[in-house]
């Protein structure tokens, strides 16, 4: 299914829902996006051997969980090449931080007990502080390093907004931002600062883009 979003200066870029065959490339893009993110560095213990493997496994299991739960995953394609990804949780009360048991068990096996526990705690804390009852949560977002600063992030923002507006019960989109350099990007996308939150040893900013009536 193609979303009605395109780059202003080219017809080659299109936003579509990801297919199963896209998940491997999507995982690679997100791995590069989050490799140095302070929250993931803390959760998956960068200073201990095997960090890269734990992070890759966690991202892979996240994408598999999104796919199994039929949650919206958006990809930007330059012709046939996937160049950017965004993953959202819909306002479904049954899809909380615990997700479902097989996801938790697979995360325990691949990312380890500490990483899995921290991921669940992070989502619980963040979701409880969002100033809405029914909302989308932007869990993962990444643009291929070779194509950053070319406006692709703003195309993703437009697609995310479109998904939110298509859901009549969604009151907006929440996002926990742990990289200070990304704050202006979300502010440009009309995400407002809710509060600074500390998760584990990391401080971040809870942002919320409200539905405009």
pLDDT digits (tens, 9 = 90+) for 190-199: 999 999 988 7
Does residue 12 surpass a pLDDT of 70?
yes
Does residue 176 surpass a pLDDT of 50?
yes
Is the dihedral angle over the CA atoms 119, 125, 128, 131 positive or is it negative? negative
Which residues 6+ apart lie within 8 Å of 192 measured at CB?
A: 207, 208, 209, 210
- Tens-digit pLDDT profile for residues 112-147: 677 677 777 777 888 889 999 999 999 899 998 877
Token look-up 């909380």 returns 96
Does residue 160 surpass a pLDDT of 60?
yes
Question: What is the four-CA torsion angle of 61, 151, 160, 88, rounded to 10 degrees?
Answer: 10
Does residue 85 surpass a pLDDT of 90?
yes
Which residues 6+ apart lie within 8 Å of 36 measured at CB?
A: none
- State residue 106's pLDDT score: 66
Chain Cα centroid distance, residue 81: 20
Q: What is the mean pLDDT of the chain?
A: 83
pLDDT above 90 covers what percent of the chain? 41
CB 132 within 8 A of CB 174: yes
Point out the least confidently predicted range of 70-79, 144-153, 198-207. 144-153
**Averaged pLDDT, 54-64:** 88
Euclidean distance between CA atoms 167 and 91, whole angstroms: 9
Euclidean distance between CA atoms 172 and 23, whole angstroms: 26
List the structure tokens of 176.
């926990």
């Amino acid at each position: 299914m193609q979303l009605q979003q395109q780059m202003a200066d080219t017809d080659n870029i299109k936003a579509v829902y990801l297919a199963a065959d896209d998940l491997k490339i999507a995982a690679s893009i997100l791995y590069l996006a989050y490799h140095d993110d302070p929250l993931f560095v803390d959760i998956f213990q960068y200073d201990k051997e095997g960090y890269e493997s734990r992070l890759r496994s966690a991202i892979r299991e996240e994408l598999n969980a999104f796919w199994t739960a039929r949650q919206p995953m958006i990809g930007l394609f330059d012709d046939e090449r996937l160049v950017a990804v965004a993953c959202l949780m819909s306002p479904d009360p049954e899809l909380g931080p615990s997700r479902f048991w097989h996801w938790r068990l697979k995360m325990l096996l691949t990312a380890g007990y500490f990483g899995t526990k921290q991921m669940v705690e992070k989502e619980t804390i963040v979701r409880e502080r969002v100033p809405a009852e029914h909302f989308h949560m932007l869990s993962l977002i990444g643009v291929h390093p070779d194509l950053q600063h070319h406006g692709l992030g703003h195309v993703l923002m437009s697609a995310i907004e479109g998904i939110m507006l298509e859901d009549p019960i969604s009151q907006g989109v929440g996002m926990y931002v742990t990289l200070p350099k990304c704050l202006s990007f979300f502010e440009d996308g009309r995400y407002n600062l809710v509060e600074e939150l500390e998760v584990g040893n990391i401080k971040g900013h809870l942002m919320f883009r409200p539905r405009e009536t």
